[in-house]
């Protein structure tokens, strides 16, 4: 209980404290405001904490009935074949409806994959082994031969200034920085030594495309899109080659951070609500920059991850979030989910408040459905798609090129 | 005094909300977050935590507040309870950081833990003279100044939060003000 003398003593100290600040001409800034999305992040963290406790309860219920916990846990964040197992056990009507949605999405992806494979390769794509996507029917030698051919094709279409020109195959000139970055990354990941000249020329091309504000772009409309790809490519190159790009990269990152929207995401324009693809590329580049020594002192990366968390309430991503968040567009959504979970698993290891997300993301990432999807797209179909439809932009190009980029030699 | 009446009414409102959350009305928890997020965030910032980490700590504090809702009792002011949790979150996080940076002696006292952690601080967003002056104090003295002078919590409440006698709060404050005077006038 506060006594009158305590009041007086504290009031006296308060006067003295304020006098010290004013006499010392002490500069005092205004109190910090929380980020606009802080409250929603707190509430989301609480939801996840509640769910985690529920799962613990369900685990002990399952154990009591001699069942696997996946048999009774209601799917909230899984976009996976394990959902099918759960439904088989529980046979709930709402979950059966969910299966049909997933089946429809799977059929759509398979249809896309089959459509893009030319007849000479037959009806089934060659399965590949790429890190987590192991499969027994591997024809690795054939797959890598085709990768080499694709790289040679890419290198042969490089412009004298080191860039790749979208207009060559009917694409928009404005995307030249992004295309150059993607070409550079594809070659860098598969033919670092064999095509070192092509990589060096691409780096020089990107250097020449950097504007005075640190961005990589040729017009305002596509600025943030081009910038994300170009910055990521240069950071990846610097990480592997230590190529003396520090200043360029620092300016590029500063531009990225300055153009994050108040919700923590990136879009084609700074005042956009947020585009998952662009945000994922920015998140990925900041994660890579962190490995080069950049520190997230202003919280840009943390806010972006929080945005991704909110956008993935059901564990899937799409360019712009669908209303019910259970169904993603067949190609864009699946690939973005894959990219997102890779980025999030990398980022979440250190932060206790994001551990629950890391666990969920890893589960999504490792799901049978994810592996099935990438196998069906296959490296071969990705290459064919790149060769046949290269540089047009849009969904027919993007997911297949991402699949190609994701496939690395191990 | 009018100011005391206002503070008391505010506390009554906080307690009412917290008891509603305890009873299962989760929707009102957001109101508690909105009422206290800024002071809590600035509490951490003024202790020397950079703003990015301060938001994480504030988030953890609210999550913990929600997690312990079933055991909440009105035995003290709501802010006492909240800042008790906040302080514990900070101590836990500093211990975790120290574990990560492999400081060997895990049996250090709180003051030593904070001193060790201060070797690896990210820049603080509150770059003002007050913050520089506060950083010249050690953690126990900084805490009493932040709670008693900046948050203006009564000394009795500060004592409950820091789990020390009121007399110790007063003597630390006296010492802290002396140190601040020396620092600011030098």
B104-132 tens-digit pLDDT:
555 556 566 565 555 444 445 567 888 98
Chain A residues with CB under 8 Å of B177 CB are 13, 16-17, 20
Q: How far is A44 from chain B (nearest CA, A)?
A: 10
Question: How does residue A67 score in pLDDT terms, banded at 50, 70 and 90?
Answer: low
CB-closest option in B54, B123, B149 to A14: B149
Segment A201-207 mean pLDDT: 93
Q: What is the pLDDT of residue A187?
A: 84
Chain B residues with CB under 8 Å of A2 CB are 154-157
- Residues forming beta bridges with residue A127, ordered by sequence position: A138
DSSP state of A62: H
Cβ A20 vs Cβ B180: under 8 Å: yes
Question: How does residue A44 score in pLDDT terms, banded at 50, 70 and 90?
Answer: confident
d(CA B133, CA A74): 53
Chain B residues with CB under 8 Å of A260 CB are none
User: Residue A150: which of A346, A358, A379, A325 has the closest Cα?
Assistant: A379
Question: How does residue A352 score in pLDDT terms, banded at 50, 70 and 90?
Answer: very low
A353 with B133: Cβ contact below 8 A: no
Segment A399-404 mean pLDDT: 43
Give the ipTM of the model, two decimals please. 0.81
Q: Between these two residues, A207 and A151, which has the higher pLDDT value?
A: A207
**HEC-encoded secondary structure of chain B:** CHHHHHHHHHHHHHHHHHHHHHCCCHHHHHHHHHHHHHHHHHHHHHCCCCHHHHHHHHHHHHHHHHHCHHHCCCCCCHHHHHHHHHHHHHHHHHHHHHHHCCCCCCCCCHHHHHHHHHHHCCCCCCCCHHHHHHHCCCHHHHHHHHHHHHCCCCHHHHHHHHCCCHHHHHHHHHHHHHHHHHHHHC
Residue A91 region by backbone torsions, left for phi larger than 0, else alpha for psi between -120 and 50, else beta: left
Q: How far is A41 from chain B (nearest CA, A)?
A: 8
Q: State percent of chain A over pLDDT 90.
A: 11
Which range scores top for mean pLDDT: A96-105, A395-404, B25-34?
B25-34
d(CA B17, CA A186): 56
d(CA B118, CA A84): 51
Q: Is the model's pLDDT at B92 over the cut of 80?
A: yes
Question: How does residue B87 score in pLDDT terms, banded at 50, 70 and 90?
Answer: very high
CB-closest option in B52, B93, B174 to A297: B52
Chain B residues with CB under 8 Å of A33 CB are 38
B130 with A10: Cβ contact below 8 A: no
Q: Is the model's pLDDT at B28 over the cut of 80?
A: yes
Chain B residues with CB under 8 Å of A17 CB are 145, 149, 177, 180
Q: Which helix (H) or strand (E) holds A157?
A: none
Q: What is the pLDDT of residue A389?
A: 35
Q: What is the pLDDT of residue B41?
A: 94
Could you tell me if B3 lies within 8 Å of chain A, comparing CB atoms?
Answer: no
Q: Is the model's pLDDT at A173 over the cut of 80?
A: yes
Q: How far is B15 from chain A (nearest CA, A)?
A: 17
Q: What is the pLDDT of residue A79?
A: 29
d(CA A353, CA B59): 8
What three-state secondary structure class fits A138?
Answer: strand
Question: Model confidence over A134-145: pLDDT tens digits?
Answer: 343 445 555 566
pTM of this prediction?
A: 0.46
Alpha carbon distances (Å) from A366 to A248, A289, A320, A362, A363: 36, 25, 23, 6, 5
Angle at the Cα of B53 from the Cα atoms of A268 and A286, rounded to 5 degrees: 35
Q: Is the model's pLDDT at A244 over the cut of 50?
A: yes
- Residues forming beta bridges with residue A391, ordered by sequence position: none
Which range scores top for mean pLDDT: A40-49, A160-169, A193-202?
A193-202
Q: What is the pLDDT of residue A4?
A: 59
Segment A218-226 mean pLDDT: 79
Question: How does residue A76 score in pLDDT terms, banded at 50, 70 and 90?
Answer: very low
d(CA A303, CA A314): 19
Segment A344-366 mean pLDDT: 47
B52 with A14: Cβ contact below 8 A: no
**pLDDT, mean over chain A:** 64
B152 with A23: Cβ contact below 8 A: no
A95-109, A149-163, B152-166: which has the minimum mean pLDDT?
A95-109
Q: How many CB pairs under 8 A join A and B?
A: 123
Q: What is the pLDDT of residue B76?
A: 84
Kindly identify which residue of chain A lies nearest to residue B65, measuring between CA atoms: A46
Q: What is the pLDDT of residue A236?
A: 87
Segment B134-157 mean pLDDT: 93
Q: What is the pLDDT of residue A57?
A: 63
Question: How does residue A331 score in pLDDT terms, banded at 50, 70 and 90?
Answer: very low
Question: How does residue A69 score in pLDDT terms, banded at 50, 70 and 90?
Answer: low
A239-248, A325-334, B55-64: which has the minimum mean pLDDT?
A325-334
Question: How does residue A279 score in pLDDT terms, banded at 50, 70 and 90?
Answer: confident
Segment B79-91 mean pLDDT: 93
φ/ψ of A228, rounded to 5, equals: -60, -50
Q: Is the model's pLDDT at A332 over the cut of 80?
A: no
Q: Between these two residues, A191 and B105, which has the higher pLDDT value?
A: A191
Q: What is the pLDDT of residue A320?
A: 52
Q: Between these two residues, A142 and B174, which has the higher pLDDT value?
A: B174
Cβ A234 vs Cβ A200: under 8 Å: no
CB-closest option in B59, B133, B155 to A41: B59
Angle at the Cα of A270 from the Cα atoms of A269 and A275, rounded to 5 degrees: 65
d(CA A216, CA A245): 14
Q: State percent of chain B over pLDDT 70.
A: 82
Q: Is the model's pLDDT at A267 over the cut of 80?
A: yes
Question: How does residue B5 score in pLDDT terms, banded at 50, 70 and 90?
Answer: low
A1-10, A200-209, B35-44: which has the minimum mean pLDDT?
A1-10
Interface of B with A in 22-81 (CB under 8 A): 29-30, 33-34, 37-38, 41-42, 45, 50-52, 54-56, 58-60, 62-63, 66-67
Kindly identify which residue of chain A lies nearest to residue B40, measuring between CA atoms: A34
Question: How does residue A74 score in pLDDT terms, banded at 50, 70 and 90?
Answer: very low
């Amino acid at each position: 209980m506060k006594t009158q003398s305590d009041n007086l003593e504290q009031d006296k100290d308060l006067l003295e404290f304020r006098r010290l600040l004013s006499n010392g001409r002490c500069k005092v800034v205004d109190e910090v405001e929380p980020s606009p999305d802080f409250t929603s992040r707190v509430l989301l963290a609480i939801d996840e904490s509640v769910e985690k406790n529920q799962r613990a309860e369900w685990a002990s219920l399952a154990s009591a009935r001699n069942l696997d916990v996946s048999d009774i846990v209601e799917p909230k964040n899984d976009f996976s074949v394990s959902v099918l197992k759960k439904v088989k056990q529980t046979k709930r009507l709402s979950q059966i409806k969910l299966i049909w949605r997933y089946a429809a999405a799977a059929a759509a992806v398979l249809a896309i994959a089959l459509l893009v494979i030319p007849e000479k390769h037959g009806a089934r794509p060659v399965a590949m082994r790429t890190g987590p996507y192991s499969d027994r029917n591997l024809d690795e030698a054939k797959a890598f031969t085709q990768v080499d051919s694709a790289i040679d094709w890419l290198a042969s279409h490089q412009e004298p200034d080191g860039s790749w020109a979208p207009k060559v195959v009917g694409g928009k000139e404005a995307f030249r920085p992004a295309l150059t970055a993607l070409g550079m990354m594809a070659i860098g990941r598969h033919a670092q030594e064999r095509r070192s000249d092509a990589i060096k020329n691409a780096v020089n091309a990107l250097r020449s495309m950097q504007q005075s504000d640190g961005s990589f772009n040729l017009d305002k409309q596509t600025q943030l899109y081009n910038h994300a790809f170009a910055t990521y490519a240069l950071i990846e190159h610097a990480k592997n080659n230590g190529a003396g790009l520090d200043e360029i990269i620092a300016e590029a990152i500063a531009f990225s951070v300055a153009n994050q929207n108040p919700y923590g995401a990136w879009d084609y324009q700074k005042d956009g609500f947020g585009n998952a693809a662009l945000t994922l590329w920015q998140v990925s580049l900041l994660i890579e920059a962190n490995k080069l020594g950049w520190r997230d002192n202003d919280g840009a990366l943390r806010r972006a991850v929080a945005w991704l968390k909110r956008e993935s309430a059901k564990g899937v991503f799409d360019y712009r979030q669908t209303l019910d968040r259970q169904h993603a567009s067949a190609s864009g959504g699946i690939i973005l989910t894959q990219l997102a979970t890779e980025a999030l698993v990398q980022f979440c290891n250190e932060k206790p408040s994001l551990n629950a997300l890391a666990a969920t993301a890893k589960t999504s990432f490792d799901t049978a459905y994810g592996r099935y999807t990438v196998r069906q797209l296959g490296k071969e179909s990705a290459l064919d798609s790149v060769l046949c439809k290269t540089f047009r932009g849009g969904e027919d190009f993007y997911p297949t090129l991402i699949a190609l980029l994701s496939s690395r030699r191990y | 005094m009018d100011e005391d009446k206002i503070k008391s009414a505010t506390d009554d409102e906080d307690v009412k909300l917290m008891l509603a959350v305890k009873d299962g009305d989760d929707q009102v928890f957001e109101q508690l977050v909105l009422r206290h997020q800024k002071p809590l965030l600035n509490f951490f910032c003024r202790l020397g935590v950079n703003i990015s980490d301060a938001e994480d700590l504030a988030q953890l504090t609210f999550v913990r507040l929600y997690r312990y809702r079933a055991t909440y009792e009105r035995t003290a002011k709501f802010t006492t309870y909240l800042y008790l949790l906040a302080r514990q979150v900070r101590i836990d996080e500093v211990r975790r950081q120290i574990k990560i940076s492999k400081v060997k002696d895990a049996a250090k006292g709180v003051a030593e833990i904070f001193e060790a952690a201060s070797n690896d601080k990210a820049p603080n967003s509150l770059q003002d003279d007050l913050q520089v002056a506060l950083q010249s104090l050690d953690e126990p003295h900084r805490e009493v100044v932040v709670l008693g002078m900046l948050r203006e919590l009564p000394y009795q409440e500060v004592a409950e939060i820091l789990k020390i006698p009121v007399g110790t709060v007063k003597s630390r404050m006296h010492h802290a003000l002396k140190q601040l005077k020396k620092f600011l006038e030098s």
